[in-house]
Structures are given as structure tokens and as C-alpha cells.
Structure 1
Amino acid sequence: MSELPKGWADAELGDLLNIQSGFAFKSSEYKDEGHFLIRIGNVQDGEISLAKPKFVKLNEQTKHFELLAGDILTSLTGNIGRVARIEQQHLPAALNQRVARLMPADKLDDDGYLFCFLSSPLFREALAALGKGGAQQNVSPKTISDIAIPLPPLPEQRRIVRKLDTLSARTTTARTHLTAIAKLVEKYKAGVLAAAYSNKETEVTLGEVIDGIKAGKSLKCDERPPREGERGTVKVSAVTWGEFRPDQSKTFLTGFQPDPDTLIKTGDFLFSRANTIELVGAVVIVDETPNNLFLSDKVLRLEMSENLKPWVLWFLRSPTGRNQLQDVSSGNQMSMRNIGQAKLKSLVLPLPDEDHRQRVLDSIEAAFAKIDRLAAEAEKALKLTDRLDQRILAKAFAGALVPQDPTDESATELLARIREARAAAPKPKRGRRKKVAT
């Protein structure tokens, strides 16, 4: 470290922490109750996950691995450097291998500054630079001990933490509101479509609008998109997400000759007749497609005049259309529903004259453009809050977030007191698995 404010000191985490790695409990030791075993998967960013709990019984050999409320834990393998605290709700709990407990020195009567540093990108980046291994990185307690930390005087640490808490509360509130906008976008769009298709004076059935329905076949295929010179068929996911996705396809086995009339072309109106209850009946108009994809038994082509395609598309995406699609879908399981062609043709939609339809479509396009701009601005602002948090932390660890007080005990003196106290303290006991006599 360099150019630290007056009263600050360069330190290493090993100067400020006692680091205890967990005990290698065997799966044969897992119990139905006892101490909640904190394994690496339970340590997430900022929280302890209660998913897939395992329990152990502690004994004389392993009692030193019992955790207390407030203990700071970090992951030593895989996604290294995830940091979280043990809360009262997690107790009784025990420390498993590949997880480390970070215990602040006695003279640090407030670990808030340390926790802020350990939870920051600075700690994660330092660990990532020192980690060993390939896809599965790992670090040791010694690695953590060697990481440098800028250390302010203890009173200033408390001032920094209070300031960070205040600023964090503000960015958290902003992030909550901005995240909510993404959910509101779909609600606003649904409202626009509901209003667009509310006129029921000129209702017809979909069967009166379309000229025909074309389907492909259900075939065994290679589960990969076709390469150049190959042909394939589309999956339902190719039409599920609002635009045609040619990469969501699979390849015909050698020798199969598809019906040329099932070739998917630009401008085709595609309909997914099978999917979950929320997604069945998804529709797209193909913008552009490679000349080697064909309809499947679950992705149909609805044939109709070009000027009707946008009107039918937005109707089937509207709340009125979606409700009808879900009502006519069949199947005993919510995970997979089906819509037969007769039921599809029975759907009822408004069909005003062409001029009226065009005005409605123009209003939908204009409203959606405004909503999408709002959503894009919210997403941009959300990213800015993350950058703001990082800048605030950078200022905090550079001594630029709160003013210094020349009357504070210096960090150098604090470090000297910590080292003196640690030298006089008895060495902590470590649990080791006893060898079985043979």
C-alpha cells in the first residue's frame, strides 16, 4: 500500500484475524438432527443458505468447530471468497472443510470495517489472483493471511462503517425500486394490449381468419443445431421468447427427407401448440431464418394474409388471448399443456376494419417503444448503482470517505497492541481426526 492517510497503516489480514479452516466431517457422520453443518455450498454472497441442510453431532474431538452468532465465514474452494455471517437462526452450527472462520483479534472490538473489506471486490479480486487450480480454484488460510489491507485508526473504522451503512441503505433502496421497474414493464405492456383488444363489437373466430395450419413431424433427431449442409427442425424454445431463435433447433438424422412445404421461411407466423401453462401458445413472426429449418409437430405455421399477421400476433400475446389459450389447453400436468387445432380455431378475437387495426397497432408500437426506453434507462441506472457501490468502497479504503481525526490512536499503535495481545494468548486448539488402532 502507498500514500495512505496520516494515522493509517499497511497491514495484512493475518495481523488482524485468526483463521480456522473447517473439519473434514465424513458423509457417514451426517445425522437427521444436531449441528447444522456449514458446507461450501451454504456460504453465499452475504448470506448463509439453508438449502440442502446436513447435520452432525459434535464430540470432544470436534467441539472446537462449533460456530457462534456473528462468526464470519468464507469459501476456500470453487467460487472462492464468498463471505457471510452466521446468524442466530443458523445455530447450532458446525464448520466443515473448505470453509474458513475469520475471527477478528481481541483488540478489534468492532469487526465492521473488516467485514466491509472482506465483503468487497478488493478481497475477492485479491483471492482470485492468488488462487490455485483451474476451473475449481482453491485457497488456503495462509493465502488469506497474506492479503494486504489498508488499516485506519479504530475510531475512524467505526466512522467509515457508519457512513457505509448510510450510503448502502440508499443504494439498496434505489436498487429495489429499479429492479421493480422490470416487473412493471410486463404489467404496463399487458395493460396496453388489454386496452387494444377490448372492443368486442366485431368478433370472429381465429378459424375464420386463418387460411390453414401446417405442422411438421415428431422425429428422433441429434440434439444440436444443424450445420451447413444439414437440415433440422425447431424446438418450442425457438418461438417462446418473443422472437424467432434459429439456434433452438435439432438436426434430422441422415436420410430423412422432410416435406418441402414445412420449410420455415421469412415472414412465417409460428405457433407453439405445446409447452408449460404459462408459455403454451407462444407466437412469433419469423424475421429471418437459415434455409434449412423445418416445422415440428409442436411448432405450427398459421397461414393467413400478411396484413392480418401483426394483429393476430399481438392478440395472442394480449391478456385476452393468453387467457383463452390457457383455457383451451389440455393436459393433466401443469408442466406440459397442449392445444389442438380445433381448439385453436375456436379462439374469439375482435376484427375491426383495416384502418382501425392499423391505428391500434401504431399505438401499441408507440407505447411499447416508450416502455422499452424506460426499462433500458432503469437497467442502465441499476448498473450505475453497482459502480457507485464500488466507488464508495474504493473511497472508504483510501481514507477519502470520512475525515481523519488527529487525536485518534494511530493504526500503527493499534497493530502493536494486537500483536502483543496475540503473542501472549494461548494457541487455539485444532481438532484432528484420531487414527484408528490396527
Structure 2
Amino acid sequence: MTELPKGWATSPLGELLSIQSGFAFKSTEYRPSGHFLIRIGNVQDGRVSRDKPQFVELDARTKAFELAAGDILTSLTGNIGRVARIQNKHLPAALNQRVARLKPTKALQFDGYLYAFLTSPSFRTELALHGKGGAQQNVSPATIGELKIPLPPLPEQRRIVRKLVTLTARTTTARTHLSAIEKLVERYKAGVLDQVFSTAENRVALGSLLTGIKAGKNLRCDERPPLPHERGTVKVSAVSWGRFQPDQSKTLPPTFEPDPSSLIRPGDLLFSRANTVELVGAVVIVDVAPKNLFLSDKVLRLDTSDHLKPWILWYLRSGEGRRQLEEVSSGNQMSMRNIGQASLKAVTIPLPDTEERRNALNLIETGFAKIDRLAAEAEKALKLTDRLDQRILAKAFAGKLVPQDPNDEPAETLLARIRAERAVALKPKQGRKKRPPHDLV
């Protein structure tokens, strides 16, 4: 730790707060209502999530694990060190064993600076160094208590937090505006596609433009991408997100000999015939492909002339194309829909003359290139705001964010009061001595 300003001190977290892990409630104890059980998945960075809530009823055995508004929580396993506060809207709530409650001592008087430290990368980084385990890290309350925190005088703590609130409010606003660009990008692209295809005429059935549709086999595979000497097949996720992703694949059985014509090659127009209602019918043109990936039963290759592939791709991605694909998809559940080959061939597609198609594709590619550059700049700026927040916090905990006041009471004096309070709390209470029976006096 760097040298601290005059009046600052370092302290183990265990001196400033008590750390209590929760109770190991069993799934058989879950109830339809009652106390919201705060499990590890509910503790996110800076907030408590109500995703997939479970409820329990407390009794004399578990009453000590009831939470109150303002309690600070941190995750003890998995993605360790996520920190959030309980709010009134989460109550009544109870604590699970993989989450710890961090309760600042009353003598600290102000926990805003402590909370800022706990939610900073400094705490997460230090905690990760002490995590135990392999794939799933875990940390004990005792380990958290041993971690050191740079502690400024109490008045400076308040000045630091006020400054942090002001500065992070600005970066939060910037982050909100930059994040909105992603939706604007999608809206702009949809507008360009609608403009192109709403004016195109001479509709034909998609099947009339295809020379064939090729599918792979449905096999039980090893759920990992194939090694270079192995053969693999693609998952639907390989074509779901706008670009071909060969790492979204699984390994074929070594005894299976795939049809050579189902090998995926650069330039292939691939189509997902099965997925959720939002993603079924996703389509990509392969740019780069390894030489050991084959089609699956859910990812089809649409064979057609190379000059028609971009036109078909963009139409099937347009609002009108998506509406047709969703209409011809079948299935009783929204979570999985299917498009049969006959239904796919029946989808109608506008087909203007070659020159008009060329101009339209140029409009799409030019417009998308501009908006993609804007999106890339926004993404870069988002990363810079994250980095800026980290630098601000680093300055705060090094005593470089606000000026020091030599009249402030030193942090060591505050720590002395905290230690005195703890000593009193730990001192056993003296009970009243029993008087001897009258016959012994």
C-alpha cells in the first residue's frame, strides 16, 4: 500500500465491522412467501436482484439471520466480493450461508466511505488474491476481516464521499447516454432495411432463388469445440448474433463420418431453423471457417448464387422478413420454435432488377458502416468511463481526491474509540452475587 497522508491510518476491516455468514437453509424449507432469502445470485454489483426469488419462514433457530434495511452484503463463493445494500423494498429478508452481512460498528459513525471501499475494484482485487478453490472461488468471513483499508479522518471521509457522489453521477449520466446508442444503432439499421425493402417490387418465393437446402445430422456430441484433429458441428448460437462464430460448436463422435457436402465453407449462407421466437431464422454469411466444422440438423445452408446471398441475408433480417419468418415458425412454446424447409421456401422476397439490388445493397453497406463506426466509438468511450471511475476511486483511497485539513481529528483517534467500544462489548457482564442462604450466615 502506498504511503498515506498525515492523519490517515490503516485498519483491518474486522476492526470496523462485524462479519456474519448466513444460515444453510435447505430447499425443502422454501415457501411460497415469507422472508426473501438472499442467496449468492441475488447479490449483484451495487444492487440486490429479485431474480428467481425464494422465500423462507424464520423461527427461533434462524431469527439471528434476519436482515435489516442498510445491511451491507457480500458474496462468499463464486464471483466473490460482489457488494450490495439491503433496502426497505427487499424486506422482510433472510441471509443464506454463501452470503455475508457486514455490519459497521456504531463508533465508526459514518459508513459511506467504508461502503465506497467495499464496492471498489480495490476490495475485489484484494479479495480475489485470498480466494480459495479452483473453478469456484470461496472466501471466509475471517479472511475478509483481515483485509486492510486505508482510513482517513472522519471529516475527510465525508468530504471524499460527497466528491465521489458528484463525480460518479457525471460518469453514470455519460454511461447512460452511451449505452442508449446501442438501441439507436439497431433502430437506425432497421430503418435503413425498411427503406430498402418497402420500395422493392416483383416478389418471388424464396424457394425459387435456391438451388438446394443442406442440413446436418442430429447426434449426441461432446459439448465443447472440436480440437484441430477432431470434427465438430455448429450450435444455433453460431449464427444467432449477426456474425458466424465457429467457437459456438461441439465435437462429433470420433466414429461418425459426416457427409463431406455438409462441411461449412467461407461464403456459405447459413440459417437457423430452430430457436426462440426472437432468434429463429437468424442468418449469416460465413466469413472465416475452420476446416473441421459441419452443419447440424438445426443450422441449414441455403444454396444460391453468390450475388443473391447478400440480398437474401438482409431481407431475412429486415422487419418484414422477420415478421414472415415468425409467422411460418411452428411450435407450442415461445422458448423453442421451428421453421420447416417447405415453409421457408414459401417465404416471399422482393426481387428488383440487378442494378436496383446493387444500389440498395450499397446503401445498406454504406449506412451500416457509418453507424458501426459510431457504435465502436461509443463502446470505446464506455470502457473509458469505467477506467475513469476506477482512477477516481484509486485517488480517493490514496488521499488524493480532496484536500486534507490539519484540524481534522486523526484516524488513529477514531480507531482508538472503536477499539474501546469493542472491548466494552466483549467484556463479560458481571452478574449480581448470590447471597448465601440464611442458615449459612
Please indicate the TM-score interval, normalised by the length of the shorter structure: 0.7 to 0.9
- When residues 272 and 422 of structure 1 are mapped into structure 2, their CA distance, relative to the original with a 3 A threshold, is closer
Q: Is the 8 A contact 2:80 2:124 kept in 1?
A: yes
In the alignment, the residues of structure 2 paired with residue 104 and residue 295 of structure 1 have an alpha-carbon distance, to the nearest angstrom, of 58
Which moves more between the two structures, 196-205 or 114-123? Answer: 196-205
Aligned residues: 426
Contact 2:127/2:144, CA 8 A, preserved across alignment: yes
**CA RMSD between the two structures:** 2.9
Report if the CA contact (8 A) 1:221-1:253 is conserved.
no
Deviates more, 1:73-82 or 1:374-383: 73-82
1:395-425 deviation digits (Å, cap 9, x = unpaired) = 1111111122222212122222222232223
CA deviations over 1:329-351 (Å, ceiling 9, x no partner): 23333333333344333333332
- Alpha-carbon contact 1:213-1:300 (below 8 Å) kept: no
CA contact (8 A) 1:270 1:299 kept: yes
Alignment of 1:368-407 (within 5 A): 368-407=368-407
Partner Cα distance (1:29, 1:264) in 2: 51
Letter in 1 for 2:327: D
Q: Secondary structure at the match of 1:401?
A: coil
* Alignment partner, residue 176 of structure 2: 176
C-alpha spacing 1:276/1:40, structure 2 compared with 1 (3 Å): closer
Q: Secondary structure at the match of 1:222?
A: coil
Cα displacement string for residues 265-307 of structure 1 (whole angstroms, at most 9, x for unaligned residues): 4333333333332222222333344455554444433333322
The answer to whether the 8 A contact 2:221-2:252 is kept is yes
Aligned amino acid, residue 213 of structure 1 = G
Deviation at 1:92, TM superposition (A): 2.8
Residue correspondence of structure 1 range 21-32 to structure 2 within 5 A: 21-25=21-25
Which position in structure 1 is the counterpart of 2:132?
132
Identity %: 68
Distance 1:226 1:14, change over 3 A: closer
**Matches of 1:428 and 1:389 in 2, distance apart?**
45
1:30-429 alignment, distance < 5 Å: 33-50=33-50, 51-59=52-60, 62-210=62-210, 212-216=211-215, 218-223=217-222, 233-247=233-247, 248=249, 250-251=251-252, 254=255, 256=257, 258=259, 260-426=260-426
Q: Distance in 1 between matches of 2:77 and 2:128?
A: 11
Distance 1:283 1:302 in 2: 10
CA distance 1:191–1:45, change in 2 (3 Å)? same
1:213-247 deviations in whole A, cap 9, x for unaligned?
23335443534556566655544444333333444
Q: Quick one: distance in 2 between partners of 1:9 and 1:232?
A: 58
**SS across alignment from 1:333:** coil
Q: State the Cα deviation string for residues 135-192 of structure 1 (Å, max 9, x = none).
A: 3333333322222111111111111111111112111111112112122222211111
Relative to structure 2, which stretch is displaced further, 131-140 or 420-429? Answer: 420-429
Distance 1:144 1:357 in 2: 64
- Matched letter for residue 81 of structure 2: G
Instruction: Summarize the Cα distance change of 1:56–1:41 in structure 2 as closer, same or farther, 3 Å threshold.
Output: farther
The alignment partner of 2:380 has SS state of: helix
Instruction: Return 335-344 or 249-258, whichever deviates more.
Output: 249-258
SS of equivalent to 1:254:
coil
Cα distance between partner residues in 1 of 2:128 and 2:351: 61
Distance 2:145 2:405 in 1: 29
- Cα separation, 1, equivalents of 2:366 and 2:117: 47
* Ranges in structure 1 where 5+ consecutive residues have no aligned partner: 430-438
Amino acid of the residue matched to residue 406 of structure 2? P
Secondary structure at 1:420 match in 2: helix
Determine the C-alpha separation between the residues in 2 that align with 1:64 and 1:232.
53
The one-character-per-residue Cα deviations of 1:14-50 (angstroms, maximum 9, x if unpaired) are 2222333334555565555544443444333222233
Counterpart of 1:433?
A: none
Distance 1:378 1:30, change over 3 A: same
Paired amino acid for 1:186: E
Q: Cα distance 1:4–1:321, how it changes in 2: closer, same or farther (>3 A)?
A: same
Letter in 1 for 2:387: R
236-245 vs 107-116, greater mean Cα deviation: 236-245
CA-CA distance at 1:427 after TM superposition? 5.6
Render the CA deviation track for 1:364-403: whole Å, top value 9, x for unaligned: 1111111111111111111111111111111111111112
Whether the 8 Å CA contact 1:267–1:286 is kept in 2: the answer is yes
CA distance in 1, matches of 2:291, 2:140: 55
**Is the partner of 2:349 in helix, strand or coil?**
strand
User: For 1:145 and 1:70, how far apart are their aligned partners in 2?
Assistant: 19
Q: Would the aligned equivalents of 1:215 and 1:298 in 2 still touch at CA under 8 Å? A: no
Aligned partner of 2:378: which letter? A
Residues 220 and 253 in structure 1, CA contact (< 8 A), matched pair in contact too = no
- Once residues 296 and 28 of structure 2 are traced to their aligned partners in structure 1, the CA distance between those partners, rounded to angstroms, is 49
Q: TM-score, normalised by structure 1?
A: 0.86
Which stretch shifts more, 26-35 or 391-400? 26-35
**Does structure 1 conserve the Cα–Cα contact (< 8 Å) formed by 2:214 and 2:302?**
no
Comparing 223-232 with 365-374, which one deviates more in the overlay? Answer: 223-232
Q: Counterpart amino acid of 1:315?
A: Y
How far apart in 2 are the matches of 1:39 and 1:412?
36
In structure 2, the residue matched to 1:434 is none
CA distance in 1 between partners of 2:310 and 2:362 (Å): 11
Instruction: Tell me: CA distance 1:156–1:186, structure 2 relative to 1, closer, same or farther (3 Å).
Output: same
- The runs of 5 or more residues in structure 2 that have no matched partner are 430-441
